[in-house]
A and B are shown apart, each in its own frame.
Chain A
């Protein structure tokens, strides 16, 4: 009896100990990585990794955070990462990394290995933000001047967060991108980063969408198109929509602030022809107008609404057409909707969806609700 109890407790203890992680490591022995840029060398056989590491200095009165870069080469991404230890001395710690920027080359050839590493490694998070660089290399984005924080990669993440009220680039986390890659009837998109001038210094900026076809990057959508892409994908959380009201006076612009948007996509199959119906319902407010015409009273408002609805329909349709013609990649996920709503029909067309998508007929029906005109109830009066 006693022997059994002893045996049992030994088994229990080993079981408990072996199932845990023996990984006591002090926080100051880790090099906390904030972001990563992935390039390829000219020959295209080696990865060039540039990691941004947070450099911590604490003085008696204040602690200062700065960033430091480490560069390494390797045959694979993981190989290159481990090679960084040669330089950093400390083991790199990936759990707090916020952004990974890849160059166009890497996005075209190796996006799968990156996504694979992120989902496989226990440190890197699948809520990371992946960006595609519009510039020659990805690493140069890490070397630009930062505006709000000293850590370039944190700022990249913040840009995406701030984009909620701008809606000019898609906020796609790695796991969402993975889902899009693996599913039928939808292609992946990632936010794109470019370099712009700010106060005579180069700085990184969020600029539009990188479009993928299957696992290959094929091109960029600009910022305006990105907004209408988000309209179709029902990802609009805010943003600004400017419209020209009068045909004859193109300088008259009314700026609407978008508060809420709901998009519904329904596939219609009629007479052997598949078409897609998109209906958007958008709640907006009049935020700015550069005319003194009254668009707040009932008559003006009706006119404004009908014009706004018409332009929005036009804009969305143009964007869809552009994607159909330029990329032929179903980044809107129409195929997925068809698969979900008409599974038997999808079975007949899943093999040739690429060609069907290119000529797919899409109708947009927009509804705009003007919630308010902010704090004024009448347009500004300009006297003599």
Chain B
């Protein structure tokens, strides 16, 4: 059940309808979306009622047909006895109805799209479910397209999102626990897990961290992620996010916990491990050979995008003897008459690429073509022909850029590590590069996600631990769930 902490003001309802209406109006002072609609029974005008709701949050049909019509048109209704019980149990046709005298609860109900009904002579009110607002229909998420998976993506409505998960995992062990986040926004959130598979320690840890969430708003999942992260300053995220219900369902089955937040189509999953960056839900829907190749390519792409500029710089400016002779001749020929040192060339072009990418993500698609023409022709070819930059640098930057797009969720990390490795390379050559890589690895291996090592199984020698890492083993071979995330590890029913 949702419990909302509203601004603590204590109002007590009275038996006078007039007074109750004034109380509600006072709480919602200056909020013009609050609608109040007084009405009476047509035969018996003594039965005075008044409903409150917020415009746009309700389904007007329900209010008209199921509340106003039954009460106003009922020929035998009289304002005597416990009429409010009579209304609750016999007159109003609604699937969810509740009687309360708690003003806080009434306010919450109004805000969340329910209708509150006051009756003359009772210090209580009925909360009637009339929620109904426009939601986006279910579409495929743009950022996570797949070829063979489901085309469903989360929407902004939490209830719809939960129903999508529920449809995929039809067991009573699937638990949905509601809570409310954001002091002002009062955003509904839901923690999902499968009882019996989930690691209770991680679950308690998540609850504890969410309790300490004190921001005034939670408009996107990242508001929460940044606040509950294990290592707040690390560029690696230790909580995952996805827009796809099938991914959430798969993670729940592995013993992970999902947090669905109202108002955003992005769900959060914990614990999140480094290798999950390279996993795609497509991997599990395709043939395992093909999926493994794709995953290896993604890992290779990440290594290339972080290292290639640094290695190129180190080779060209420090270790010319390591370059094969024909290659060094063509690099040297290309660099004749180029005005800037290699490091500056690289920095300029890498920055330009990031500018193009950033510009490309925010503009309407029809300008995108113009942008790519400017980027490719003007900056690439013309700059080389005018001898502003040397051709090998353009190749290096292009390779870096393309491989950087292979794992989009890592692009922040990629930019940071690429820049740091590049600077170290410029300072000390391959020696500096090695130091940079070592530092990054040390960082990578010391962070945790909810108590689980971020690089779990990366150094394991057991086949069962490696089945879903750099490669994706066949489904029948994945007998166990990942260790440390869950204690109920057997995935396949034992005979």
Contacts and interface: CB of A to CB of B under 8 A. Distances in A.
Interface of A: 16-17, 19-28, 30, 32, 54, 56-58, 60, 63, 65, 93, 95-96, 98, 123, 125, 154
Contact of A26 (B329, B335, B431): B335
Given A25-B317, A58-B336, A20 B329 contact: no
A174 to B, nearest CB: 15
B333 interface: yes
Given A26-B317, A27-B328, A56-B336, 16 more contacts: A20-B428, A21-B428, A21-B429, A24-B317, A24-B318, A27-B316, A27-B317, A27-B331, A28-B332, A32-B332, A54-B329, A58-B333, A58-B334, A60-B385, A63-B330, A96-B321
Nearest to B432: A20
B365 interface: no
A23 B429 CA distance: 8
B328 A32 contact: yes
B385 A93 contact: no
Interface in B194-249: none
Interface string B327-352: 01111111110100110000000000
Interface string B401-442: 000000000000000000000000010110110010000000
B318 A28 contact: no
Interface in B369-409: 385
B15 interface: no
A96 B328 contact: yes
Chain B contact residues, majority secondary structure: helix
Nearest to A30: B320
6 contacts: A20-B428, A26-B316, A60-B385, A96-B320, A96-B321, A154-B325
B329 A17 contact: no
Contacts of B325: 96, 98, 154
Nearest to B316: A27
B348 to A, nearest CB: 15
* Max chain B C-beta neighbours (<10 A), residue from A23, A28, A65: A28
Contact of B335 (A20, A24, A28): A28
Contact of B431 (A20, A60, A63): A20
Nearest to A34: B325
A93 B429 CA distance: 18
B389 to A, nearest CB: 13
B432 to A, nearest CB: 7
Contact of B428 (A17, A26, A28, A123): A17
* Max chain B C-beta neighbours (<10 A), residue from A17, A60, A96, A98: A96
Given A17-B428, A26-B341, A32 B329 contact: yes
Contacts of A65: 329, 333
A20 B430 CA distance: 9
A68 to B, nearest CB: 14
A98 B385 CA distance: 32
A56 B329 contact: yes
A72 B332 CA distance: 24
B99 to A, nearest CB: 63
A20 B426 CA distance: 12
Nearest to B322: A95
Contacts of A56: 329, 332-333, 336
Contacts of A28: 332, 335-336, 338
* Max chain B C-beta neighbours (<10 A), residue from A17, A24, A60, A65: A24
A57 B325 CA distance: 16
B316 A16 contact: no
Interface of B: 316-318, 320-321, 325, 328-336, 338, 341-342, 385, 426, 428-429, 431-432, 435
B320 A27 contact: yes
A96 B326 CA distance: 10
Contacts of A57: 333, 336
Contacts of A95: 320-321
A96 B315 CA distance: 14
Nearest to B321: A95
A20 to B, nearest CB: 4
A24 B342 CA distance: 10
Contacts of A22: 428
B428 A93 contact: no
A293 B39 CA distance: 126
Nearest to B314: A24
B429 A16 contact: no
Contacts of B341: 26
Contacts of B317: 24-27
Contacts of A19: 431
Contacts of A30: 320, 332
A26 B340 CA distance: 10
A16 B428 CA distance: 9
A60 B336 CA distance: 12
Nearest to A25: B317
Contacts of A26: 316-317, 335, 341-342
B296 to A, nearest CB: 33
B421 to A, nearest CB: 15
Nearest to B317: A24
A19 to B, nearest CB: 8
Contact of A16 (B333, B342, B426, B435): B435
Contacts of A98: 325
A57 B332 CA distance: 9
A17 B428 CA distance: 8
Contact of B318 (A23, A60, A154): A23
A157 to B, nearest CB: 9
B318 A21 contact: yes
A96 B320 CA distance: 9
Contacts of B328: 27, 32, 96
A27 B333 CA distance: 9
Contacts of B429: 20-21, 23-24
A27 B331 CA distance: 8
A63 B333 contact: yes
Nearest to A56: B333
Contacts of B316: 26-27
B321 A24 contact: no
Nearest to A154: B325
Contacts of B318: 21, 23-25
A25 B341 CA distance: 9
Nearest to A63: B333
A27 B330 contact: no
Given A32-B328, A54-B329, A63-B330, A24 B385 contact: no
Nearest to A59: B333
Contacts of A54: 329, 332
Contacts of B320: 27, 30, 93, 95-96
* Max chain B C-beta neighbours (<10 A), residue from A16, A27, A123: A27
Nearest to A157: B325
Given A27-B316, A27-B317, A63 B334 contact: yes
A26 B317 CA distance: 5
A25 B315 CA distance: 10
A221 B45 CA distance: 131
A17 B431 CA distance: 10
A148 B329 CA distance: 17
A256 to B, nearest CB: 36
B444 to A, nearest CB: 20
* Max chain A C-beta neighbours (<10 A), residue from B328, B332, B426: B332
A27 B325 CA distance: 12
10 tightest Cβ-Cβ pairs between the two chains A and B: A95-B321, A56-B333, A28-B335, A63-B333, A58-B333, A20-B428, A20-B431, A96-B325, A27-B332, A24-B317
A27 B335 contact: yes
Contacts of A60: 385
Contacts of B431: 19-21
A27 B314 CA distance: 11
A30 B435 CA distance: 27
A63 to B, nearest CB: 4
A54 B333 CA distance: 10
